[in-house]
Chains A and B, each alone.
Chain A
Amino acid sequence: MRAFTYERAETPQQAAMAAASTDHARFIAGGTNLLDLMKIEVETPAHLIDVNGLGLDTIEDTDDGGLRVGALVRNTDLAADPRVRRHYGVLTRALVAGASGQLRNKATTGGNLLQRTRCPYFYDTNMPCNKRRPGAGCAAREGFSRQLAVIGGSEHCIATHPSDMAVAMRLLDAEVETVLPNGNTRAIPIADFHRLPGDTPQIDSVLIPGEFITAVTLPRPLGGKHFYHKVRDRASYAFALVSVAAVVQPDGSGRVALGGVAPKPWRREEADEALPRGAKAVMARLLDGAEPTHENRFKVNLAERTLAAVLAEAKE
Chain B
Amino acid sequence: MSQHPRFKITRRALMIVGAASAASLGLPRLATAGRDGESPTSAPAADDKAATAEVAFTVNGVPRRFTADTRLTLLDALREQLRLTGTKKGCDHGQCGACTVMVNGRRVNACLSLAVMHEGDEITTVEGLGTPDNLDPMQAAFIEHDGYQCGYCTPGQICSAKATLQEIQDGVPSHVTADLNAPMKVTAEEIRERMSGNICRCGAYANILDAVRDVAGEQS
Contact = CB atoms under 8 A, between A and B. Distances in A.
B40 A48 contact: no
Interface string A90-134: 001100110111110110000000000000000000000000000
Given A5-B41, A85-B181, A106 B70 contact: no
Interface residues of A, number: 40
B196 A236 contact: yes
A106 B113 contact: yes
B214 interface: no
Contacts of B195: 101
Interface string B34-72: 000001111111001111010000000000000001110
Contacts of B181: 82, 85-86
Nearest to B113: A31
Nearest to A50: B117
A202 interface: no
A92 B175 CA distance: 9
B45 A4 contact: yes
B49 A3 contact: yes
Interface stretch (A32-40, A169-177, A301-309): A32-40
A35 B175 contact: no
B180 A101 contact: no
B108 A102 contact: yes
Nearest to B193: A236
Contact of A5 (B42, B92, B113, B170): B42
A262 interface: no
B38 to A, nearest CB: 11
B97 A6 contact: no
A52 B113 contact: no
A106 B108 contact: yes
B219 to A, nearest CB: 18
Interface in B154-183: 160, 163-164, 167, 170-175, 177, 180-181
10 contacts: A6-B114, A8-B41, A35-B73, A46-B45, A80-B173, A92-B173, A100-B97, A101-B163, A102-B97, A237-B196
The 4 closest A-B pairs by CB, nearest first: A100-B197, A236-B196, A3-B45, A6-B42
Given A6-B53, A35-B114, A103-B94, 4 more contacts: A3-B28, A3-B71, A101-B197, A103-B197
